[in-house]
Amino acid sequence: MYLASTLVTLHQDDFARLYRRNAQTLVVFFQRRLHDPELAVDLMSETFATALDRREQFRGSSETELSGWLWAIARSTLRDHQRRDATERANARRLGIERRALSDREIERIEELAGLAQMRELIAGHLALLPPDQRTAVRLRVIEDLPYREIADQMGLEVPAVRTHVSRALRRLSRELRDAWTAEVRP
């Protein structure tokens, strides 16, 4: 078990264990949000580098608290990336800097770890169980990215009704998918 005093004086074995327990799920976390396997690996690495750098800031005393702390760093890393993405990419292109390209095999493995095919099947199955109006509203809003006014016109509803359909459907999907998917994603 990790203790705050252990983490402050993090030994190589402790950090290696933390990495083994979380690296794969962190890559999956980033891949599902960014759809870029190379970037997912970069941000996973950055998360662990930040954790190592800031190990003295950890105030917890359990493995659960350590995991929560690491995941808070991961979420922060993602937000930081999203804020600086446009500038970094523009500067990298301007300077001609490129990161190492992952092989097709590495990309396929990351996509496999992220369970994208299974996720699509799971989502499609749960979408099919929604009431027809909710299913249509979600498809038009989320998949086709139509504005609420246009969806309301197509469905013959008022905008508030469409918002309600989308909101209820997404809440239901979130609840059902979280339960179904959590067991597969986090060890």
The domains located in the chain, with CATH, are 4-107 (1.10.1740.10), 115-185 (1.10.10.10)
105-124 pLDDT, tens digit each: 988 888 888 877 788 888 88
136-171 pLDDT, tens digit each: 998 888 887 788 899 999 999 999 999 999 889 988
pTM value is: 0.51
Please give, one letter per residue, the 3-state secondary structure of the chain. Answer: CCCHHHHHCCCHHHHHHHHHHHHHHHHHHHHHHHCCHHHHHHHHHHHHHHHHHCHHHCCCCCHHHHHHHHHHHHHHHHHHHHHHHHHHHHHHHHHCCCCCCCCHHHHHHHHHHHCHHHHHHHHHHHHHCCCHHHHHHHHHHHHCCCCHHHHHHHHCCCHHHHHHHHHHHHHHHHHHHHHHHHHHHCC
Contact (CB, 8 A) for 130 and 138: yes
The mean pLDDT of 35-50, rounded to a whole number, is 90
Residue 134 neighbours by CB under 8 Å, 6+ apart: 165, 166, 168, 169, 172
